[in-house]
Each structure stands twice: as C-alpha cells, then as structure tokens.
Amino acid sequence: MSVSSHENRKSRSSSGSMNIHLFHKTSHADSLLTQLNLLRKRRVFTDVVLCAGNRAFPCHRAVLASCSRYFEAMFNGGLKESRDAEVNFHDSLHPEVLELLLDYAYSARIIINEENAESLLEAGDMLQFHDIRDASAEFLEKNLHPSNCLGMMLLSDAHQCQRLYELSWRMCLANFATLYRTEDFLSLPKDKVQDLIFSEELEVEDESVVYEAVIDWVKADMDRRLSDLPELLRCVRLALLPETYLLKNVVSEEMVMGDKTLLSRVTYNLISFFTQVGQGSVRSLAQGLLLV
C-alpha cells in the first residue's frame, strides 16, 4: 500500500471521534518464543555459539541478552566475547545445565528436581538468570533436611540466597548435636564452624558437645587446622563443663597439653571461673597445669 493511499484513508475516516479498537493476542509471546526456539534448533539466524564441556549450542545474542544481564554486558560491552562468534565456558559449566538454561530462555519453562536444583542455582547466579536462581532456592527450601542443611548453608551463602541461608542456618543450630559428627561438618571452613559454636542460639544439652566438635574438626585435618584450635577454643565455654569431664577430656587432650600458650590460656580462664564459684580442687589442678 502506498503512502498516499494511507493518507487519503486517514483523511476520509477522520471524524474527530475516539472510535478505536485495541487488538491484543495474548498468545503472541508464547508463539514468538516457540518460533525463536525452532529457529535456534534449525540454526537459523543464530549469531553466537555457547560451548560447555564437549557440546556446542548455537543461539541468538538478542535472546540471551534479553534473559541475562551477564550476556547483555558481555555482548554490549568492549569484552572480547562481544565480537567473538563463540563463547566457551570449558568445564566451569556443565553442558546439561547450560542446556536447561537455554531451554528456559527460549520457552520460559524449566523442570527443577533434586538432581539439578543445586547446579541450576549456581549456574543461574553465575549467568545472572536470577529467576532460575530464586526458583531453585525455593525448591531447595522445600526440600531442606538435617542431612543437607550444612551444604545448603554454604551454597546459599555463596550465592546470596538470603531466605535459604536463614532456614539452613537455623536448622544447623537446632541439629548441631548430630551434625557435628558428619563429614559435612568436618569439611566446613573455619569461619562457619566458629560462627556456629559461638552463636547464642546453638541448641546443645551441654558444652561438651561444642568442645568435642572443635576437637574433631581440628583432628580431621591436623596439619592445616591445628593453628586454628586456640581461636576456636575461645568460643567454647569451658567453665560450663563438669569437673570430671575437664579432668578426663580437656586437660588430657594432647593438642591442648602440647601447646604451652594454649594450655596457659585455657587454665587461666578456668582459674578465673573456679575462683569465683569456689571449686578449689579444679582450681588447684588448673594452677598446677600452668607449672607443667
């Protein structure tokens, strides 16, 4: 249709009234995504290839940039990838996980399950598919259990999932008496161990559980962790331990007895406490330890 024909029609129909009609096809967005996905699978108009592991995924930059700030910045900035026809994630991203994210980008649908939720959370955070990160975190919240709460605490802390972190943290505190014997606990970094045992909300029947948790954690990697023992023992309320437990476990522990500085710090703390409460026998023992 020519420009003049359109202008003539406009002038004939202009009556000054507001006789208009808005046409809105609600299925248009789904149809558009479906067609874009078909084009992707046929490799039509694709202008970048994402590689992960030994697999390659032809894609459209515009689609990726629309779904992810990561890709928007990559393709719109001065990075080398903005000009390259290929972006290689090597082994930093599993190809199956990347495929799930791309399927979501082109369909707005993704299946999250127990096998892929953690990987999707990590990849969603890495590539700034924030909807996927948050959906995965919500899935993990619903499947949180004492058997996985330590791992969920670390995962959510690393990827800024605040609600998942808070729920995991509370579960760790509530189940510490059983968790401290697990491999997950023995694998925790020092700062998390310290945060847990120092928390006022830690639920344990007596302080011996906290002491044993510290000792077991250090013994799990003696060469690297022995130097952390003094700092961690400051978080243990040794004065709350029964006299028999102190005699049998604390003062006979080789790691404590073998470190004069640590031994002095422990015994000075005990002397101060037992002087206040009047337990002379243990106070004498503590004073004797300082002379060993």
User: Which residue stretches of the chain have pLDDT < 50?
Assistant: 273, 276-277, 282-283, 286-292
pLDDT digits (tens, 9 = 90+) for 252-265: 777 877 666 665 55
For residue 120, what pLDDT is reported?
Answer: 98
Enter the pTM of the model: 0.82
**What is the spatial distance between Cα 215 and Cα 249, in angstroms, rounded to a whole number?**
10
For residue 243, what pLDDT is reported?
Answer: 76
Pairing between β-strand 86-88 and β-strand 48-52 as defined by DSSP bridges = parallel
Helix (H) or strand (E) holding 96: helix 95-107
Say if residues 267 and 230 touch (Cβ distance below 8 Å).
no
Say if residues 35 and 25 touch (Cβ distance below 8 Å).
no
**What is the spatial distance between Cα 239 and Cα 246, in angstroms, rounded to a whole number?**
9
pLDDT digits (tens, 9 = 90+) for 9-22: 667 666 656 678 88
User: Token pair 């073998």 is at which residue?
Assistant: 258
For residue 109, what pLDDT is reported?
Answer: 95
Residue 66: CB atoms within 10 Å = 11
Question: What's the CATH code, domain 36-109?
Answer: 3.30.710.10
Give the C-alpha distances (Å, rounded to integers) separating 167 from 141, 142, 148, 191. 7, 10, 12, 19
**What is the spatial distance between Cα 250 and Cα 240, in angstroms, rounded to a whole number?**
12
Backbone φ/ψ region at 30: left (φ over 0), alpha (ψ -120 to 50), beta: alpha
Max intra-chain CA distance, the chain: 110
Domain range annotation of the chain: 36-109, 113-174, 177-236, 242-292
Question: What's the CATH code, domain 177-236?
Answer: 1.25.40.420
For residue 176, what pLDDT is reported?
Answer: 98
For residue 158, what pLDDT is reported?
Answer: 96
For residue 291, what pLDDT is reported?
Answer: 40
| DSSP string of 186-214, one letter each residue | HTS-HHHHHHHHH-TT---SSTHHHHHHH
Which amino acid is located at 282 in the chain? V
For residue 20, what pLDDT is reported?
Answer: 85
